Structure 1
């Protein structure tokens, strides 16, 4: 199993996994991704910006996430306190194939992302958020070593919504200078 950067040829598999994620959230009564987001345009944008990563095994895409460097507007108004003020990357649009649930793929995806990001000079942390009703993702995020820091209004939320997602951060351990 390996994590790699997605290519435009991966779009259909990514769209299918996102669709499956939307269906699962709907069945669980979670009002996340139920308003058309993420859509094809956002997924294409992620791939073109080289933000999308996929977890792949034997040529099959098992999971996907957008790993976005730089300031995330969703995280500018945290109702809480971030663990660091330095540069970070954000993880968004995490989903795994319904055909492979129970294998810990979300956990493997988060750990693979951390393993890559921890080797990028100048990145202090990784940030992620999720809907308050998405208990499964909250469990995965916490198990991956993230600390809850407060609440944010996601950029993807419509202006009329009062959704406030739980925000999390995981610090990157920088080597000590000798």
Structure 2
């Protein structure tokens, strides 16, 4: 298998939205409240891509994952109830989703490792993320990859668990 990680293009929005819809349904079927309020939606994905924040993970040229990546740009993180490990530059990612036909291969972990490599390429040594309290899969991934729980942040009025991982060159 050949894997690649790159910026998404606008003509890939339909494929990306299909993957996100699958993830939204998985969250619902697992009893999670995450992503059950109309977010994310196609307009969010379009904005990700047009602003250069949308990234895809590919297996043999086929899109199997999606994530939005931003640098130093998450206003909700300034209001953390808790404390971040670092105060400097950071990469933050949102909307992690893997195609349902490719689950169980560890692709989410591979994609998050690719995000860490992306951060280092930008000269940034902090990666921050958050997830819903009931997203057991993502919580396990944070643990496996050595993220530290830092506290709670709020999105659309709901608390989310916030994590940070410090990287070394």
After TM superposition, the score normalised by the length of structure 2 is: 0.95
Moved over 2 A (4+): none
Q: Which moved more, 1:42-51 or 1:69-78?
A: 69-78
Corresponding residue pairs, total: 167
2:115 aligns to what? 113
After TM superposition, the score normalised by the length of structure 1 is: 0.90
Q: Which moved more, 1:12-21 or 1:134-143?
A: 134-143
Matched, 1:164 2:164: no
Structure 1 or 2: more helix by fraction: 2
- Quote the RMSD (CA, aligned, Å): 1.0
**Secondary structure, counterpart of 2:65 in structure 1:** strand
Q: Which stretches in structure 2 are left out of the alignment for 5+ residues?
A: none
Matched, 1:173 2:164: no
Q: Which stretches in structure 1 are left out of the alignment for 5+ residues?
A: none
1:86 aligns to what? 88
Deviation string, structure 1 residues 116-165 (Cα, Å, up to 9, x no partner): 211212x23110000000011111122122111111102xx2xxx4x211
Deviation string, structure 1 residues 54-112 (Cα, Å, up to 9, x no partner): 11112210001001112311101111110000011111000000101100010000001
Alignment of 1:26-175 (within 5 A): 26-121=28-123, 123-154=124-155, 157=156, 161=157, 163-174=158-169
Alpha-carbon offset, residue 10 of structure 1: 1.0
